[in-house]
A and B are shown apart, each in its own frame.
Chain A
Amino acid sequence: MLRTLSDIQQSFALALADPGLPVPANVLGRRGKPDLRRFSVYRNNVMIGLTDALRARFPVTERLVGEEFFRAIAHIFVTSHKPRSPLLMIYGDEFPAFIEYFEPASKLPYLPDVARLEVAWSQAYHAAEAIPLNARAFASYRPSDLIEARLSLHPSVRLIRSAYPIAAIWAAHQGDGEVNGPEHWEGEDVLVLRPDAGVLIHCLPAGGYDFAAALLAGKSLGVAAESGLEVDGDFDLARNLTGLVSAGAVIALYADQ
């Protein structure tokens, strides 16, 4: 029987992950033989702990499908996706993509994007601190200087493009109150960030997503504005820039004067 620590942990881990496997023969209860109910405590702890981590991270997704259905999805996800890190605050980054291919959830086509919004929300919640730039920082520049300027966005900034009104759906499912559906059913481009203590969610105007994404990629304001113009011929650089700055999304400006 005497086996190495490696062997012991290998067989323990395999049986832990697969409830179809028997309790390892060296894992004993009071009478010196394997005891399923005892071993199941460990299986349950893993399943409940990881399910609770998902429930904490995806409260709106859970509310949209109901607790029972959510637990069922979570059970399948947890079985096939063990965390790679001991930081449970990042567990479930692949959950939205998993939902997308989970056939029973296909009646709610917006569900994966709402889950993406919740991933972005928790990432913004735990992101590094940074102080947003005040609009006055732009005052001393001529518009021609700013065309070449580059911006640093707040480390909490996340962008999500959806064919569904995910921000409206998300807002309608906060708390336990009565749910009123979105007033429109058009796609939304969403900016998620935490400029100070709280996470904020903004809907971006047409072209605003492409503009902000280009800035995030390190492009100049001029190039980023072209990205916006490609999507919307009426793209307004001043309006979009002001929107980002007033949202607290900009933390540094690099420009030649």
Chain B
Amino acid sequence: MPARAGVGLKPVHYQSILDFMPDIGFFEIHAENYMGDGGPPHRYLEAIRSHYPLSVHGVGMSIGADRPLDHEHLERLKRLLERYEPALFSEHLAWSTHDMGFFNDLLPIPYTGEALERVCDHVDEIQTKLGRRMLLENPSTYILFAESVMLEVEFLTQVAARTGCGLLLDVNNVEVSATNHGYDPLAYLDAFPIEHVGEIHLAGFAETHDDEGRRLLIDAHDSPVRTDVWALYVHVLNKLSPIPTVIEWDNDIPAWPVLFAEACRAERLLGSSNGLPDHREAFYASHAL
């Protein structure tokens, strides 16, 4: 995967992408949207995949649930990855399934020793089944659990150390959670095990207030990346070499040029960070011959 910027692939943009073949690093899909047997989603994805690298981002594996993984779902995921051969695969530190059904949201987990064991078992099982390393994403959260005994960063560090998985650093989630819980996002980023990060997410948040009238940020993916989040992104880029970065925009989706412009902005920042993006190195290498 080139250390470039990409975007979340949305059906409303399929035709624009194929018509204009934009110079963009890669596309990321939500795995569950391509688990049908056939039809236009697969036809478009095959066409786009033939021109661009791909990242697959799961939203339904429920890694943090206190119940066995859904093996049927894991099988479907394996088939999807075999078919499209993405350079990256990621999932969330969250849960969504329960005896009552699938909750269609990324629900928070308590940071306890028991939850850590469970998450590590699930990550092990997924990586073994898929035969590849996965990236685990830091969540955006609105509440804390009384039972938590460690910080989120400690929890993620432990999962990465024990399972060998990589981490997906969602910088917007850092801003959202830090604001919601009243800690310093820079301190979170400085404590984050940056050496395990294989991908970055950027997105826009929405705003409301909690019962106490304090600012409450919602991970809405419905607007441009905010200035504060760009600043955090630059902070991260100063700490590590360029890394694949995705603009997520899943609601109130803009016209293609608006989304593409966000990716171009991320790519400019990637290009001015410590190292040079892979594709430029490749470019210079090919022209030196």
Contact = CB atoms under 8 A, between A and B. Distances in A.
A47 B107 CA distance: 14
A247 B260 CA distance: 40
B39 A30 contact: no
A125 B40 contact: yes
Contact of A197 (B43, B60, B115, B208): B43
A10 B110 CA distance: 13
A53 B104 contact: yes
Contact of B143 (A2, A5, A28, A124): A28
A81 B218 CA distance: 25
Contact of A30 (B107, B146, B214): B214
A76 interface: no
Contacts of B214: 30
A84 B62 CA distance: 13
Interface stretch (A36-44, A107-115, A136-144): A36-44
A248 to B, nearest CB: 14
Instruction: Indicate the size class of the contact surface on chain A.
Output: 35 or more
Interface residues of B, number: 54
A6 to B, nearest CB: 4
A87 B66 contact: no
Contact of A38 (B105, B110, B147, B210): B210
B279 interface: no
Contact of A5 (B38, B112, B146): B112
B66 A5 contact: yes
B145 interface: yes
B36 to A, nearest CB: 3
Interface stretch (B19-27, B90-98, B235-243): B90-98
Contacts of A26: 110, 145-147
B212 A2 contact: no
Nearest to A125: B39
Contacts of A30: 180-182, 210, 212, 214
B70 interface: yes
A31 interface: yes
Contact of B218 (A1, A41, A194): A41
A87 B35 contact: yes
A231 B103 CA distance: 45
B70 A4 contact: no
B77 to A, nearest CB: 10
A49 interface: yes
A98 interface: no
A86 interface: yes
A38 B112 contact: no
B41 interface: yes
Given A37-B209, A87-B36, 7 more contacts: A35-B143, A36-B211, A46-B103, A83-B104, A84-B101, A86-B60, A128-B37
13 contacts: A5-B112, A13-B99, A29-B143, A30-B180, A30-B182, A37-B211, A41-B208, A42-B105, A83-B104, A84-B102, A88-B32, A124-B39, A128-B37
